Structure 1
Amino acid sequence: MLDSQGDISIIFPAAPGSYADTSWGTVSWALDCIGGTFNPQLSIGPCVLCPQGNSTNGLTGQSICVSCEVDAFCPTGAAFGNISTSSSILTSAGQALAYPVSPQSVRFDNILMQNMFYLRSPMSGHCVLVSAFFWALIVIALGIVIVFVMITLKYYVRNTQLKVTRKRVTRLLKQTDFIGEGELWMGGIATISIAILATFAYIFSSAYFQRYPIERVNSPANFACDTTLTNAQFSSGLMSLTVSPNDDQVPMFNLLNAQQLTVHLDLTNTLFTCSDSVTLMQNRGASQLLIPSTCVESNGSLSISAVLPSHVVTLQLSLTGIEIIGGFGFGLTGPGAYQEEDTLDGIYTLADLDLNQAFSVSGRILSQQPSFAVQLSKLVNRTYPLDENDATEFSAIWTAYTSYDINQNFIDENDYKYVTSLGTTITIGI
């Protein structure tokens, strides 16, 4: 065979499960298909990727691919068919959560009146049970029944024992009468209704007060009809990098800037191992600096971890070999911190960082020159105290957004046929 440069190569057909390699001379010899690829027949052609849903079960030199397990991460070119899709390295997890929308009314008297006297239709059983108005209506209804019975006993019943019972009930109701100052037995019924409303108002007010600040609330508002009720008013904003933080914000930003971050890079469904040449470098312009890292392999996955030298860095992970990579994961962890500043009346809490982002594309494999751009942002929350003598509470965490070119980072079967590189280099810019 004559190539484009005029060189002659003698290629012999390779047996099933192998391919004819001419990279080291003019005469080919057979090499086993790598994991995730197969060759079903005697030919001089290359091995092809296993179709999605099939794998080589961690083996090389295969002439067929076998079906993966149910609920397994099994993309095109899968070397393993038993990696669960629920694996932590395949699950993206972030810690930054959006606050709920502020309630339409933030005045407590409006919220109290709405929850005590508002009856909506239809109403759930829970809403009926926590409605003060409902129970007041029950007492009023019982009061009407009592009034009817009392009138009947007074004017239409001649039984002496029942007359005595009526007098006892009348005396009891007068003793509970705060409206007519003990003169009206019907005032006792009204007093009981008012007492129920007052009791519900106290219970609601106390429970509502305990739901501030929202960061410390983990349970639903079972004391109200709306169990998502929050005792908070939210506002948000962006701070320009050119604007210096206020004095009371400086300690929070200092804790963020001082947090030591550890990067975690995960390669999923691959035959790369820690015994291969795996290096993590920091790009520093024209030079590179080796970053000490740890490597762990488990069931077709490879994880590399390293402490970042700074929060702004360009990393380059190099792996020698032509093994296929089904998916890529990027994660950051960092210890939290706590600080109190009496002079600023502030409490500062830096949350433990533990975020993970997983990347894979159906029908594609990771290319040999992928590049990911990670944008770190500081997310700071300020909670004002209800009492002016209490401290303002600050909490913060890093959040990350990753962007990449899907066509550059992931290739399909057609692109894989023209791959010539003998290694994979993953670039991560933070």
Structure 2
Amino acid sequence: DISIIFPAAPGSYADTSWGTVSWALDCIGGTFNPQLSIGPCVLCPQGNSTNGLTGQSICVSCEKDAFCPTGAAFGNIGTSSSILTSASQALAYPVSPQSVRFDNILMQNMLYLRSPMSGHCVLVSAFFWALIVIALGIVIIFVMIILKYYVRNTQLQVTRERVTRLLKQTDFIGEGELWMGGIATISIAILATFAYIFSSAYFQRYPIERVNSPANFACDTTLTNAQFSSGLMSLTVSPNDDEVPMFNLLNAQQFTVHLDLINTLFTCSDNVILMQNRGPNQFMITSTCVESNGSLSISAVLPSHVVTLQLSLTGIEIIGGFRFGLTGPAAHQEEDALDGIYTLTDLHFSQAFSVSDENDATEFSAIWTAYISYDIDQNFIDENDYKLIIIPLVKRLYHCCCRRTVAKELPKNGAEKTFDRF
């Protein structure tokens, strides 16, 4: 076949897909052609864009801190834009305390002194302040002895008698008979006050999902009112009776998928179709489409949790980035028969993918198991008969069961278990 190719003007390229004679077509967004030629349009280098225009002979510099990868069609999307932000609800549980008995935790935080200690640990230590009071009491005892046996000043003797009466009035140990008991009572009162403050603040640190501030009332500011244990469990194993309500809530949660095409000239009028693949058949899924600031957002309610989707777009445009997201409503259920309360947190997950540099490679991570689907008919028979060997990736399904034990005085038969999160 013979094709006649005419040079295309700057900002366009010679297209030969419609016949033997070329036609000049505008460069798509994110590409440019600076001169009269029969060559193709060139991608805008990183940090440059075509500002949402087509048929450009040059690329212009993007705004400062703009998301402008190679071939950027727009230069006004900031790198800190919400559409480029990933969201994950995967929380690493904190290190569990060595003991879940509250009396042990109380004693460790009130009466334990170690070296070296930070200024914060000294200030929140009840034992430290009790020692201060005892030290002052010892000084008072020496002063009282000196005033009684070595000083004959009448005014000082009156002062000594007043201090003695005051200390006897605060004496709860000797029932008001010993003035030295008043000093000991003050020390005990300080310990009791610190114990009350610690207990109240420690109680408020459950559950951990509602705690956002450090434990400033304790030396260890990461102190938690719970003990955690977790394990990876296969979904092929039937859950226990007390786990079934949680699985029912999870299975009933309806997912909404969100697909964001970032920095692109694709629009909702480009015949955007979201399809569900079921073997050889395809079914259209009702979806919504929104255009905003050089990005295209598609969302749809999924018919099931396990689904294969295919997004079809008409035309050829460059996509600078992509974000996938899932959302789902929260749920709450009380089971009197199991004496349990089950709470399903709302799902809000999103992951953005983009290449920031021409030589960068986007990294994906997950738990994958690969297997080869092999067929003898898929061999390379000869040089004219090339077929593919398909190597799909299959994700094995697991769930992480985390148990949380509330720190308290435990019964002899063991701890009360609370299912916290799957």
Fold match, TM over 0.5? Answer: yes
In 1, are the aligned partners of 2:354 and 2:362 still within 8 Å (CA)?
no
Report the Cα distance in structure 2 between the residues aligned to 1:261 and 1:146, rounded to whole angstroms. 71
Of 245-254 and 391-400, the range deviating more from structure 2: 391-400
In 2, are the aligned partners of 1:262 and 1:307 still within 8 Å (CA)?
yes
1:402/1:251 CA distance change after superposition, 3 Å: farther
Gaps of 5+ in 1: 1-6, 362-386, 417-422
How far the C-alpha of 1:233 sits from its partner, in A, is: 0.7
> Alignment partner of 1:194: what SS?
helix
Partner of 2:175: 181
Q: How does 1:44-63 map to 2 (within 5 A)?
A: 44-63=38-57
1:158/1:426 CA distance change after superposition, 3 Å: closer
Q: Deviations over 1:145-185 (max 9, x none)?
A: 21232223223332211111101111221232344443432
In 2, are the aligned partners of 1:351 and 1:396 still within 8 Å (CA)?
no
Of 267-276 and 86-95, the range deviating more from structure 2: 86-95
How far the C-alpha of 1:126 sits from its partner, in A, is: 3.0
TM-score by length of 2: 0.81
In 2, are the aligned partners of 1:50 and 1:76 still within 8 Å (CA)?
yes
How far the C-alpha of 1:337 sits from its partner, in A, is: 1.4
In 2, are the aligned partners of 1:317 and 1:427 still within 8 Å (CA)?
no
1:400/1:190 CA distance change after superposition, 3 Å: farther
Q: Deviations over 1:349-389 (max 9, x none)?
A: 1211111111112xxxxxxxxxxxxxxxxxxxxxxxxx999
> Alignment partner of 1:11: what SS?
coil
How far the C-alpha of 1:16 sits from its partner, in A, is: 1.3
In 1, are the aligned partners of 2:11 and 2:33 still within 8 Å (CA)?
yes
Q: Deviations over 1:209-258 (max 9, x none)?
A: 33233334333322212222101110001222221112222121111111
How far the C-alpha of 1:114 sits from its partner, in A, is: 2.2
1:234/1:20 CA distance change after superposition, 3 Å: same
Report the Cα distance in structure 1 between the residues aligned to 2:129 and 2:97, rounded to whole angstroms. 26
How far the C-alpha of 1:103 sits from its partner, in A, is: 1.8
> Alignment partner of 2:91: what SS?
coil
1:140 matched to 2:110: no
Report the Cα distance in structure 2 between the residues aligned to 1:388 and 1:54, rounded to whole angstroms. 13
Report the Cα distance in structure 2 between the residues aligned to 1:148 and 1:169, rounded to whole angstroms. 13
Partner of 1:31: 25
In 2, are the aligned partners of 1:328 and 1:358 still within 8 Å (CA)?
yes
How far the C-alpha of 1:40 sits from its partner, in A, is: 1.2
1:401 matched to 2:392: no
- Please tell me the root mean square deviation across aligned C-alpha atoms, in Å: 11.1
Partner of 2:266: 272
In 1, are the aligned partners of 2:70 and 2:358 still within 8 Å (CA)?
no
How far the C-alpha of 1:131 sits from its partner, in A, is: 1.2
Partner of 1:391: 361
1:405/1:348 CA distance change after superposition, 3 Å: farther
1:216/1:241 CA distance change after superposition, 3 Å: same
1:329 matched to 2:323: yes
1:139/1:208 CA distance change after superposition, 3 Å: same
Report the Cα distance in structure 2 between the residues aligned to 1:176 and 1:426, rounded to whole angstroms. 45
How far the C-alpha of 1:20 sits from its partner, in A, is: 0.9
Aligned-pair identity (%): 91
Report the Cα distance in structure 2 between the residues aligned to 1:72 and 1:278, rounded to whole angstroms. 27
> Alignment partner of 1:234: what SS?
strand
Moved over 4 A (4+): 387-416, 423-430
1:389/1:200 CA distance change after superposition, 3 Å: farther
Q: How does 1:22-421 map to 2 (within 5 A)?
A: 22-361=16-355
TM-score by length of 1: 0.80
> Alignment partner of 2:313: what SS?
strand
> Alignment partner of 1:255: what SS?
helix
Gaps of 5+ in 2: 387-413
